[in-house]
Amino acid sequence: MKMRHPLAHARGLGSSKSGTSHWWGQRVTALLLIPLVIWMLYVVIVYAGQPYQVIQVFFSHSINSILAILLILAMLRHAQLGMQVVIEDYVHSQPLETILQLLVKLFALAGAITVILAVIRLALQ
């Protein structure tokens, strides 16, 4: 039987520095999403059924394009952080966890690139 203090055991479990930044990231993206989602709901309600040209004119204003991009980026980051926690908590195979974490990051990156390009294309037509 080893006579180790519990603190000595806990010190050997690795760093806990990333937890705070992860927690803040979740809260900041959640707070960003509140006004952005309200704005997007307003846009969807007001412009529902409008022809493509009207939507294109709306997004040709830079503030609207920027808000749309911010909405999607905040949503993707928030989802990525949430999925990271789920994978860390419920996937117990280290290789599978690594693969899933990589896939989540790649999906978020691909989504961000796709949305940014789509909004820019819509705004510049």
> Could you read off the pLDDT of 59-69 as tens digits, one per residue?
999 999 999 99
Outline where DSSP puts E strands in the chain: none
* Domain presence at residue 77: yes
Please check whether residue 14 lies inside any domain of the structure: no
CATH number of the domain to which 86 belongs? 1.20.1300.10
3-class secondary-structure state, position 92: coil
Task: Give Cα 95 to chain centroid, integer Å.
Answer: 23
Residue 83 tokens, joined: 């999925």
Domain of residue 117, residue span: 20-124
DSSP 61: S
Tell whether 5 is covered by a domain.
no
In a domain, 12, yes or no: no
How many domains does the chain fold into? 1
Which residue is associated with the tokens 């989602």?
A: 37
Per-residue pLDDT tens over the stretch 26-71: 999 999 999 999 999 999 999 999 999 999 999 999 999 999 999 9
pLDDT at 22: 87
Residue 108, token pair as written in the block: 């978020």
